[in-house]
Amino acid sequence: MDAQFPPLKNDLLLRAARGEETERAPVWVMRQAGRYLPEFQKVRAQHGFFEVCRTPALATEVTIQPIRRFKGLIDAAIIFSDILVVPQALGMEVEMNPAPFFPDPLVNPEDVRKLRSEVDVHKELGYVFEAITSTRKALDGEVPLIGFCGAPWTLFAYMIEGGGSKTLQKAKTWLFKYPEESKALLMRIADVCVDFLVGQIAAGAQLVQVFDSWAGELAPHHFAEFSLPSLKHISSGVRSKLTAQGIPSVPMTLFPKGANTSIPSIAQEAGYDVIGIDWCIEPSVARQLVGDKIALQGNLDPGLLYGGREAIEREVKRMCESFKAGKKAKAWIANLGHGITPGVDPEDLRWFFECVHKYSTSV
């Protein structure tokens, strides 16, 4: 597969994801191709959000924009797409106005019949695969390319709530009132995620990440009951299908935002190479919880990017010291603890990258 692509010049991310020691921590940020960039805003002024996702040339352009702007400072690109393309592939309508909105959400388990019984990801999501191949070639080996999907619990919640929610009342009603039907739907979503990630890897993604953005909204025992089985299904399913198709495996990252008390069971059972952590847990504590066989990713509070350069430098230094614990950078990918927000000054993000380079360097 890799024969069609230029050789990789910067493999820091992949080495860290495999648990290796690195000369410094590789760094990228979630949502790094997005609204905080003026060049992205120019593209969006002429094209709708999902139009950009579905047009490989546009998706390639916006994926590369931060790599171009912060040349030499970012160690990975992440394909421009959205977690909600999976519900779309299942037959649901999703709009961006500007937040996600489902005109016809799932109201009760009978509504599951409205979803496609079989999903051909190449037919429904082939545009993502095309964008990945195009972007991988356009990157010319400068940095690795990350693919991704949403976790089943997070997607399930969107599909039932009809958009974002502070309480997840409707989604939790399903879990507790219709537990077996909920588990069946979660696994159905997971099956699509497996095929979607395998397709992305076949198309050229060199690492894939699963975003469980609402993992922390579940009690630890409910996370173990409802979310964790589908996450395990994805990691094992992707690897088995890659093996069956003769495609080399790639590192897999899970970002279970907010589920910090579940980190030990995630590390032991979920089957991922990297666990992303938010800013509500100390990196040194997270390392104790996962042991030395799993890489960590994170975890600066995105709000600090509004705090000025002195605050950014101070907190990046603190983060690096906690991750490194007096040793060399090992099995750590520097990132924010969630996605970058739209109002950030790109030059303050540049400073974040520069500080990571400075303070994560192995000595």
What mean pLDDT comes out for the span 175-185? Answer: 98
What is the token pair recorded at 181?
Answer: 């039907």
293: how many CB neighbours lie within 10 A of its CB? 9
User: Helices (DSSP H) in the chain: which residue ranges?
Assistant: 12-17, 38-46, 49-54, 56-69, 85-89, 121-139, 152-161, 169-177, 179-203, 220-222, 228-244, 263-265, 283-290, 309-324, 346-360
- DSSP string spanning 248-266? PP--EEEEETT-GGGHHHI
* Distance from C-alpha of 229 to C-alpha of 187, rounded to nearest angstrom: 8
- Overall pTM surpassing 0.85 (yes/no): yes
Q: How confident is the model at residue 90 (pLDDT cuts 50, 70, 90)?
A: very high
Which letter, b or e, does each residue of 23-41 get, where b requires 16 or more Cβ atoms within 10 Å of its Cβ? ebbbbbbbbbbbbbbeebe
Q: What's the DSSP call for residue 277?
A: -
Q: What is the pLDDT of residues 247-291, one digit of tens each?
A: 999 999 999 999 999 999 999 999 999 999 999 999 999 999 999
Beta strand 100-101 with 145-150 is: unpaired
Length of the chain: 363
* Distance from C-alpha of 361 to C-alpha of 304, rounded to nearest angstrom: 21
Domain boundaries, the chain: 2-12+22-29+36-272
Query: In the predicted model, is pLDDT for residue 163 greater than 70?
Result: yes
| The amino acid at 78 | I
Look at residue 252 in the predicted model and tell me its pLDDT. Answer: 98
Q: How confident is the model at residue 3 (pLDDT cuts 50, 70, 90)?
A: confident
* Distance from C-alpha of 17 to C-alpha of 144, rounded to nearest angstrom: 12
* Distance from C-alpha of 113 to C-alpha of 146, rounded to nearest angstrom: 33
Residue 226: closest CA among 254, 194, 189: 189
* Distance from C-alpha of 250 to C-alpha of 30, rounded to nearest angstrom: 19
Catalytic residue among 75, 82, 273, 278: 82
What mean pLDDT comes out for the span 1-17? Answer: 91
| The amino acid at 330 | K
* Distance from C-alpha of 117 to C-alpha of 174, rounded to nearest angstrom: 20
Look up 31 and say whether it is catalytic: yes
What mean pLDDT comes out for the span 204-212? Answer: 98
Q: How confident is the model at residue 196 (pLDDT cuts 50, 70, 90)?
A: very high
Q: What's the DSSP call for residue 215?
A: G
* Distance from C-alpha of 83 to C-alpha of 321, rounded to nearest angstrom: 33
Which residue has 């106005």 as its token pair?
97
Look up 178 and say whether it is catalytic: no
Q: CATH assignment of 2-12+22-29+36-272, given 3.90.740.10, 2.60.40.10, 3.20.20.210, 3.40.30.10?
A: 3.20.20.210
Catalytic residue among 15, 24, 31, 136: 31
Catalytic residue among 35, 239, 314, 350: 35
Beta strand 252-256 with 207-212 is: parallel
Q: What's the DSSP call for residue 341?
A: P
Contact in structure between 52 and 80 (CB atoms under 8 Å): yes
Query: In the predicted model, is pLDDT for residue 173 greater than 80?
Result: yes
Catalytic residue among 44, 239, 314, 350: 44
| The amino acid at 156 | F
Look up 292 and say whether it is catalytic: no
Catalytic residue among 158, 188, 212, 278: 158
Q: How confident is the model at residue 292 (pLDDT cuts 50, 70, 90)?
A: confident
Query: In the predicted model, is pLDDT for residue 1 greater than 90?
Result: no
What mean pLDDT comes out for the span 234-238? Answer: 98
What mean pLDDT comes out for the span 38-44? Answer: 98
Residues 6+ apart with CB under 8 A from 170: 105, 160, 161, 162
* Distance from C-alpha of 30 to C-alpha of 32, rounded to nearest angstrom: 5
Beta strand 207-212 with 145-150 is: parallel
Which residue has 């969006």 as its token pair?
44
